[in-house]
Amino acid sequence: MNSEYQVIAAEFRGAVAYLRLTRPDKRNAINDRMIEEMDHFLDTLPAETRAIILHAEGEHFCAGLDLVERIQNRSPDPLSGIKRSRAWHHVFTRLEHGTVPVISVLKGGVIGGGLELASATHVRVCEGSTYFQLPEGQRGIFVGGGASVRVPRIIGAGRVTEMMLTGRRFDAQEGYAMGLGHYLVADGEGLAKAEELAQAIIGNSAVSNFAIINGVSTIAEMPTDSGYFAESVLATMTARSGDFAERTTKFFDNRRRSREESGHADSKTD
Ligand code: 1HE
C-alpha cells in the first residue's frame, strides 16, 4: 500500500493509536481497500503504542462486508473468495493477537463483518444506539471474517446459529448482557469511555497485556495439559519481565506509606 488512506484514518497520541473507519456514506462497509489499509495501519504502528482505539465515523460502526463491491468483483474462481476471506482473517487476527490491546467503540449497526471486526477486539464499549446482527442467511452468504470462530466463543454456537438463521437484531442492552459489549454508555460517550479504559490498560505491564491478549484465548482452545503448560510458561515469562518486581514492590510500599500516613493522622487527632 503506497498511497494515502481513503477509508480509514490513523492518529497517534502518545501511547494510544486511533484507527477510525471513515466511510460513513457506505455505513463503513468493509471493502478490499479497508482491509489493506488496516493491515498497513498495523504495519506502521509507532513503537510507543500501548493501546489501539478502533472507532468509526457516522451513525453506524460497520455495515459488514461491502456487498456492492463483492457482487461487482464476483469471480467464478473459488480461490478468489478464499483469498479475500483469508485476508480478513489475517488482519483481524493481527488485531486480536498483536502486541497491544484493542478497544472498540460500537454504535448503530454492528452487522455481519462489523461484528467479525468487533469480536476481534478485546474491550468493546457500546453506545446506546448499538445493535448486533448477522444477516448472512438473508443475503445468501456465510460469514468469512472469523465470526464463526470468534462470536461463538462469546455467545455460544447455538445463539450464533439462531442469529444467522433468523437475522434477528440484539440491541445494545441485550448485546451487553450477552457479552458482545463490555460497557454500555450513552450515545456520543463511547470514545471518552474508551480513552479512560485505554489509560487504565496502558498503566498495566506491557508484557502482561501481551500475555493476556494472546494467552487467554489461545489457552482456552488447548487441551487441558497443554493449557497448563502454556500458562506456566506465560506466568514465568511475565514474572521475569522485571516489571513484576518493580510494580509489586511499589504496590506494597504505597500501601505501607498510606497505612503509616493514616496512622499518623490518627495520632494527630488523638
Ligand atoms: C452498503 C452496505 C454494505 C450500506 N455494502 N454498501 N451487511 C448488510 O447486510 C447490511 C446492509 N446495510 C444495511 O442494512 C443498511 O444500509 C444499514 C442498516 C447499515 C444502514 O441503513 P441506512 O438507512 O442508514 O443506509 P442505507 O440507505 O441503507 O445505505 C446508505 C449507503 O450505504 C448506500 O449507498 P448509496 O451509494 O446508495 O448511498 C448503501 O448501498 C451503502 N451500504 N451497507 C455496501 N454492507 C466476510 S463475510 C461478512 C458477511 C457480511 O458482512 S453480511 C452483512 C452485510
> What's the pLDDT tens digit per position in 58-70?
999 999 999 999 9
What pLDDT is stored for residue 255 in this prediction?
93
Between 265 and 10, whose confidence is greater? 10
**Ligand 1 touching residue 66 (CB < 6 A):** yes
What pLDDT is stored for residue 264 in this prediction?
61
Whether 265 has a pLDDT exceeding 70, the answer reads no
> What's the pLDDT tens digit per position in 71-112?
999 889 999 999 999 999 999 999 999 999 999 999 999 999
* Residue nearest (by alpha carbon) to ligand 1 atom 42: 26
**Ligand 1 touching residue 235 (CB < 6 A):** no
> What's the pLDDT tens digit per position in 210-244?
999 999 999 999 999 999 999 999 999 999 987 88
Q: Which atom number of ligand 1 is nearest to the Cα of residue 60?
A: 19
What pLDDT is stored for residue 245 in this prediction?
87
Catalytic residue chosen out of the listed positions 37, 96, 127, 136: 136
> What's the pLDDT tens digit per position in 114-162?
999 999 999 999 999 999 999 999 999 999 999 999 999 999 999 999 9
The answer to whether 116 is a known catalytic residue is yes
**Ligand 1 touching residue 60 (CB < 6 A):** yes
Whether 270 has a pLDDT exceeding 70, the answer reads no
> What's the pLDDT tens digit per position in 18-57?
999 999 999 999 999 999 999 999 999 999 999 999 999 9
**Ligand 1 touching residue 67 (CB < 6 A):** yes
What pLDDT is stored for residue 267 in this prediction?
44
Catalytic residue chosen out of the listed positions 37, 96, 116, 127: 116
Q: What is the reported pTM?
A: 0.94
3-state secondary structure the chain: CCCCCCCEEEEEECCEEEEEECCHHHCCCECHHHHHHHHHHHHCCCCCCCEEEEEECCCCCECCECHHHHHHCCCCCHHHHHHHHHHHHHHHHHHHCCCCCEEEEECCEEECHHHHHHCCCCEEEEECCCEEECCHHHHCCCCCCCHHHHHHHHHCHHHHHHHHHHCCEEEHHHHHHHCCCCEEECCCCHHHHHHHHHHHHHCCCHHHHHHHHHHHHHHHCCCHHHHHHHHHHHHHHHHCCCHHHHHHHHHHHHHHHHHHHHHHHHHHHC
**Ligand 1 touching residue 127 (CB < 6 A):** no
Whether 2 has a pLDDT exceeding 80, the answer reads no
Instruction: Walk me through the domains of the chain, giving residue ranges and CATH numbers.
Output: 8-202 (3.90.226.10), 206-262 (1.10.12.10)
Distance 178 CA to ligand 1 centre (A): 25
Whether 269 has a pLDDT exceeding 50, the answer reads no
What pLDDT is stored for residue 57 in this prediction?
98
What pLDDT is stored for residue 156 in this prediction?
98
Distance 63 CA to ligand 1 centre (A): 5
What pLDDT is stored for residue 247 in this prediction?
87
Mutation pick for ligand 1 pocket among 7, 32, 67, 133 (CB with most ligand atoms within 8 Å): 67
What pLDDT is stored for residue 20 in this prediction?
98
Q: Which atom number of ligand 1 is nearest to the Cα of residue 84?
A: 46
* Residue nearest (by alpha carbon) to ligand 1 atom 34: 26
Whether 3 has a pLDDT exceeding 80, the answer reads no
**Ligand 1 touching residue 108 (CB < 6 A):** no
The answer to whether 48 is a known catalytic residue is no
